[in-house]
Amino acid sequence: MSRDELLAWIPSGHPDESLVREIHFDRLPVHVAVIMDGNGRWAAQRHLPRVEGHRAGIDSVRDSVETAARLGIQVLTLYAFSMENWKRPASEVGTLMQLLKRYLRSELDTLLSNDIRFRVIGRMEDLAPDIQEELHAAIQRTSSSRGMLFNIALNYGGRAEIVDAARRAMTSGVRPEDLDEQRFASFLYTAGQPDPDLLIRTSGEMRVSNYLLWQIAYSEIYVTDTLWPDFRRRHLLEAVLAYQKRERRYGGISSPAVIGAK
Ligand code: FPP
């Protein structure tokens, strides 16, 4: 996506225009991963039940997915449900699953019209059959899209992913002496995908919460106090701008303009 194309999507005179003009389109993060946090607090601030925060968070998902695709991000990974989230009340878990189902139904056309390919990372096989069906349908329907890859992390745990990868490696026939980092990564749920360049966490918490533990080894971390239901295009653009001001070293020495030169 070019700057002009993105600007054509933003109403003329909108404050986001100036943010777009500041972005270096030749140095975009290739993969952006997001920990969507703060739904419960957003609801509590409004004296609403927690699930209303999740419901409101769907608008942020919609806005972020479309913004990322139009910006030219190649991979977007959203953390929608962790393996630890099963500890929440059954009613909250049920609502989250229903919201996901509804989101997929209502957004499929938008995903297709934006050429977005949908994928799930996590132990999908443990989800309810109707949810799995909906997910498989969305994966199937968007499988020939060639634009942004949109991963949803569902029933996901970073350590579990590493264990699953180790199991696959052990049964794959690969000899221990042939197993290196690159080979091991090919057994992860994200096989073939670039590692996240930018990890965004909303609601101000300084934790990685068992998210993409292998893949975020060299990610730039951006934490915003904005609660997820308030997160919009502007916030994503601000995160990308902050990323573009960082200097990435990968454990090496300081050198200018290394962003994106992975
Ligand atoms: C964290 O907020 C958020 C979640 C556990 C779920 C995120 C899910 C959605 C935004 C809706 C469904 C997603 C998709 C992709 C359609 P929290 O409840 O932990 O908030 P708190 O820390 O303020 O309590």
Average pLDDT over residues 82-92: 96
Query: Residue 261's pLDDT is what?
Result: 44
Please tell me the predicted confidence (pLDDT) of residue 255.
57
**For residue 190, is pLDDT > 50?**
yes
Ligand 1 atom with least separation from CA of 104: 16
Q: What is the homologous superfamily of the domain 3-244+253-261 according to CATH?
A: Decaprenyl diphosphate synthase-like (3.40.1180.10)
Q: What spacing in Å lies between the alpha carbon of 229 and ligand 1's midpoint?
A: 9
Residue closest by Cα to atom 14 of ligand 1: 100
Q: Which is more confident, 261 or 131? A: 131
Per-domain boundaries in the chain: 3-244+253-261
**Digit-coded pLDDT (tens) for 165-176:** 999 999 999 999
pLDDT at 253: 79
Quick one: pLDDT at residue 3? Answer: 87
CA dist 9 and 171 (Å) reads 48
The pLDDT, as a whole number, for residue 259 is 54
DSSP characters for the chain? --HHHHHHHSPTT-THHHHHHH--GGG--SEEEEE---HHHHHHHTT--HHHHHHHHHHHHHHHHHHHHHHT-SEEEEEEEEGGGGGS-HHHHHHHHHHHHHHHHHHHHHHHHTTPEEEEES-GGGS-HHHHHHHHHHHHHTTT--S-EEEEEEEE-HHHHHHHHHHHHHHHT--GGG--HHHHHTTSTTTTSPPPSEEEE-TT----TTSSTTTTTTPEEEE-SS-GGG--HHHHHHHHHHHHTS---TTS---TT-TT--
Show the ligand 1 pocket: residues with CB < 6 angstroms: 36-41, 54, 57-58, 61, 78, 80, 85, 96, 99-100, 103, 152, 203, 228
Percentage above 90 pLDDT, the chain: 91
